[in-house]
Amino acid sequence: MKRKATKALIAQMVLMSSLSLVWARQGADTSQNPPAADNTKTNQRDQNPSEPTADKQKENPSDRQLAQQIRRALMKDKSLSTNAHNIKVIAQDGAVTLKGPVDSETEKQAVEAKAAQIAGSDKVTSDIQVRSK
Residue 3 lies in a domain: no
Cβ contact 86:77 at 8 Å: no
104 CB neighbour count, 10 Å cutoff: 14
Residue 9 CA: distances (Å) to CA of 20, 84, 98, 130: 16, 57, 64, 58
Domain membership of residue 23 (yes or no) is no
Q: What 3-state DSSP class applies to 97? A: strand
Question: Is residue 98, in this structure, part of any structural domain at all?
Answer: yes
Range of the domain at 107: 53-130
Instruction: State the pTM of this model.
Output: 0.64
CATH number at residue 73: 3.30.1340.30
**Could you give the number of structural domains in the chain?**
1
Dihedrals phi, psi of 88, to nearest 5 degrees: -75, 130
C-alpha 20/C-alpha 14 separation (Å) is 10
What mean pLDDT is predicted for residues 11-30? 67
Q: How many Cβ atoms are within 10 Å of 62's Cβ, its own excluded?
A: 11
Report pLDDT digits (tens) over 43-92: 565 666 667 766 667 688 999 999 999 999 999 999 999 999 999 999 99
Residue 45 placed within a domain: no
Is residue 98 within 8 Å of 87, Cβ to Cβ?
A: yes
Higher pLDDT, 43 or 110: 110
Q: Are strands 88-92 and 124-130 parallel, antiparallel or unpaired?
A: unpaired
Task: Tell whether 9 is covered by a domain.
Answer: no
At residue 32 the predicted structure's pLDDT band, cuts being 50, 70 and 90, is low
Structure confidence at residue 6 (pLDDT):
79
Question: Three-state DSSP class for 69?
Answer: helix
